[in-house]
Amino acid sequence: MARTMTFSELRKIKDSLPAGSVRKIADRLNINEETVRNYFGGWNFDRGQAVGIHIEKGPGGGFVTLDDTTILDLAESMIE
């Protein structure tokens, strides 16, 4: 199910992750670490893939719609 939030909210979640979390998420999902970083707003498509994040300019860094929340759900569970 898709989820929409501000880009700032998405970055806050990434910034709240414990050290090593990007690698843990990548390992668990068998994907490249750069793909996880791209999910959180990175732009390294030479080493990672696009992951269904749509950004619309606006306040708070704009709004993002995430087509698949699997990475987000894992990240939020690591923060709790």
Q: How confident is the model at residue 60 (pLDDT cuts 50, 70, 90)?
A: confident
* 71 — pLDDT class (breaks 50, 70, 90): very high
Rounded to whole angstroms, the Cα distance separating 63 from 74 reads 21
Number of neighbours of residue 15 by Cβ within 10 angstroms: 8
CA distance 4 to 26: 22
Q: Which helix (H) or strand (E) holds 25?
A: helix 21-29
**What are the beta bridge partners of residue 55?**
64
**pLDDT tens digit string along 13-39?**
999 999 999 999 999 999 999 999 888
Model confidence at 51, pLDDT cuts 50, 70, 90, reads low
Q: What is the pTM of this model?
A: 0.82
What length does the chain have? 80
